[in-house]
Amino acid sequence: MQIASVETRLYALELDPPFRAAWDPVPRRRIEATLVIVRSSDGTEGYASGGDGLADRALLERLLVGVDPRRTEVVRELCETVDFHGGRPWAVELAVWDLVGRLLDTPVWRLLGGRNERLLAYASSGELVEPEERARRAVELRDAGVRALKIRFHLADWRDDVAVVEQVRTAVGTTMDLMVDANQGWRMPGDRRPRWDVATAARCAAALEELDVYWLEEPLPAED
């Protein structure tokens, strides 16, 4: 059993109206995604999706063709050599795992050692909306059975974002766990807005503790 080919397909969708994401410096008017298809020598296909920054397909195919897809550690090592030099090859690794699952007729979660067929899930906000709308959506999610919600920060003053969490907490009471993503760990290309320092992160964490926030994610730059 060998990997026979690696194919990528780029899809693009215009967004109307534009999507106001918490992590974008300007509204997003277009979304792109790459579908990766890894084929084995018997014609079985594995699929995965990634963003628009996938590493060079021809290079990945040259490295992976002939490799036994069941040797996932080899696939990972080869992807790591590409990742170091630029581009993100990890959708290819995921497609190989999907391929292996199909070859073995076994869900990938089970191949990875999963022990439960049911897991707790949480909703994650992405679109920027007014505080009142965020609270309304939280209640709607709660009423639909969701028991946890992650809220992404985006404003120049973290106190304004904390006020949004406070409004959501007032709306849902103790019926939902609330989490916060401060979005300080990384930046979109060209985004030079100031990021938090340790003192700012600590002050924000203290304020969120009073609102019984379950976790604070990415409160500092990844390189700090």
Sheet holding 45-50, edge to edge: 3-19, 28-40, 45-50
Supply the DSSP symbol for 140: H
Judge whether residue 186 has pLDDT over 90: no
What percent of the chain clears pLDDT 90, i.e. is strictly above it?
Answer: 68
The answer on pLDDT for 90 being more than 80 is yes
Name all domains of the chain by residue range, CATH numbers in brackets. Answer: 3-111 (3.30.390.10), 123-217 (3.20.20.120)
Which 3 state secondary structure label does DSSP give 220? coil
Condensed to tens digits (0 to 9), the pLDDT of residues 51-88 reads 766 778 888 899 999 999 999 999 999 988 887 776 77
pLDDT band at 192; cut points 50, 70, 90: confident
| Mean of pLDDT values over 193-216 | 95
pLDDT category at 224 given cuts 50, 70, 90 is: low
Percentage with pLDDT > 70 across the chain: 98
The model carries a pTM of 0.80
- Distance between CA atoms of residues 92 and 104, nearest Å: 18
